[in-house]
Amino acid sequence: MENSSPAAALGRALWALFLATLGSAAGQPLGGESVCTARPLARYSITFTGKWSQTAFPKQYPLFRPPAQWSSLLGAAHSSDYSMWRKNEYVSNGLREFAEQGEAWALMKEIEAAGEKLQSVHGVFSASAIPSGTGQTSGELEVHSRHSLVSFVVRIVPSPDWFVGVDSLDLCAGDRWKEQAALDLYPYDAGTDSGFTFSSPNFATIPQDTVTEITSSSPNHPANSFYYPRLKSLPPIARVTLVQLRQSPRAFVPPAPGLASRDNEIVDSLSVPETPLDCEVSLWSSWGLCGGPCGKLGAKSRTRYVRVQPANNGIPCPKLEEETECVPDNCV
């Protein structure tokens, strides 16, 4: 029969309080959030796939000096006490340098400081840069039951301060580690530079803004390199896949594209989206002089030029010259 004496009840209450305090000290979430009880360590392969193609993103696609490419990937395995970046919040100085210039040193020092002072970071991981808009890079990382969250950033090159990444992806599912996780990635603005286009000059945002997601209609300005008003949403510009390593890392073979994850049932399509890009023309010029013989109607014309050539079955360009009748000028 269970002991229900006041002393026993007090003992159980104190033990529960001790466990809660221990979890909090270890960086585990309280207040209803799940606590990871999986085995202490797990290793994962992380594969970053760039999908930034001229077909998917034809507007102002960078072809030269520099062409479209991705920076190196920098990430950390951490607890809920640490945040590398977060939507609608201000970025740190380290992430600002990374998003604007691709300089990782300051961000690395910030991650290291969080690990030393708060014990909230278990380890740092990275993957090499991709020299084109499409391609793959991969690395490995280790997570701990007290540090089961994964965050990372990859800079979009060239860009003012744009990046893609993941904020606090939890690889632990209660008492087990997830076999696989896959996410489509979309561009974010770090809020530190006010440029509209991939090749915009450096123009600091004062005061600094928060991290915002870039969409097909936001910023709502035709000059924006990701402005596609006909689309409800942008196609994914990248994708990340994490797969748990069972045996030796050398024996690991990444899953082929098109296979569904058993955990998420996410299918990585092989098809490349074709984003329609409509023709954009300038405003009409002023009407030219009216020419023709005196005493009869003459003609005058005005012109405009193509600012953006159409692509992928976008709306074609309208006529670029217009003519109308007029009375000849300066007839003698």
Whether 277 contacts 312, CB under 8 Å: yes
3 state SS of 98: helix
* Tokens coding 280: 């954009």
pLDDT of 293 above 90:
no
Residue 17 is predicted with a pLDDT of 45
**Mean pLDDT for all residues in the chain:** 84
Question: What integer pLDDT is reported at residue 63 of this predicted model?
Answer: 93
What average pLDDT does the segment 7-25 reach?
48
Q: What angle do CA 119, 73, 106 make, to 5 degrees?
A: 55
pLDDT surpasses 70 at 10: no
Write the CA distances from 89 to 60, 78, 167, 210, 220, integer angstroms: 29, 18, 12, 5, 21
Mean pLDDT, rounded, for 164-180:
96
Give 113's DSSP letter: H
Q: In this predicted structure, what is the pLDDT of residue 32?
A: 42
Average pLDDT for 147-153: 97
User: In terms of Cα–Cα distance, which of 232, 282, 222, 270 is closest to 59?
Assistant: 222
313 falls in which pLDDT band (50, 70, 90)?
A: confident
pLDDT tens digits along 82-93: 999 999 999 999
The pLDDT value recorded for residue 7 is 59
Say whether pLDDT at 134 is over 60.
yes
pTM for this predicted structure: 0.73
Instruction: Output the pLDDT for position 165.
Output: 98
Question: Is residue 219 within 8 Å of residue 213, measured between CB atoms?
Answer: no
DSSP 8-state assignment for residue 147 = B
Q: What angle do CA 60, 281, 283 make, to 5 degrees?
A: 130
Residue 321 identity (one-letter amino acid): E
- Report pLDDT digits (tens) over 196-236: 899 998 889 999 999 999 999 999 888 899 999 889 999 99
For residues 133 and 142, give the distance between their C-alpha atoms in angstroms, rounded to a whole number.
28
For the chain, give the percent of residues with pLDDT over 90: 57
| Segment 94-130, tens digit of pLDDT | 999 999 999 999 999 999 998 888 789 999 999 999 9
**Residue extents of the structural domains in the chain:** 42-246
User: Which residues are bridge partners to 107 per DSSP?
Assistant: none
As its CATH architecture, domain 42-246 has Sandwich (2.60)
Average pLDDT, integer, range 9-27: 46
User: How would DSSP label each residue in 154-219?
Assistant: EEEES-SSEEEEEEEEE-EETTEE-SEEEEEE--EE-SSB---STTPPP-B-SSPPPPEE--SSSS
- Alpha carbon distance 147, 317 (integer Å): 55
**Distance in angstroms (rounded) separating the CA atoms of residues 96 and 90:** 9
What is the band of 71 on the pLDDT scale with cuts at 50, 70, 90?
very high
Dihedral angle over CA of 249, 137, 77, 261, nearest 10: -70
